[in-house]
Amino acid sequence: MKEVGSVHDAWNGEGAANGLLGGTSKLANEILGTAERLTREVSKASLGAVALVEAGGNELIGNTLGA
């Protein structure tokens, strides 16, 4: 009967799989971190836009009432 693989080969395969999983996990964490940073920046930009619109609206109302 032919030997299919050795314990050493199996150990190397498991190590390679664990390395791949570790790399995938690291990449996923980096992607999540980037997504969180982008979400914070978009949130800040949205709040800034709301403040600008609100200020513009208040100015328009003030100008209209003052006219």
Q: What are 4-61's pLDDT values in tens digits?
A: 566 667 667 777 888 888 888 889 999 999 999 999 999 999 988 888 888 888 888 8
Integer Cα distance of 42 and 13 in angstroms: 43
At residue 1, the 3 state secondary structure works out as coil
Integer Cα distance of 13 and 9 in angstroms: 6
pTM, to two decimals: 0.53
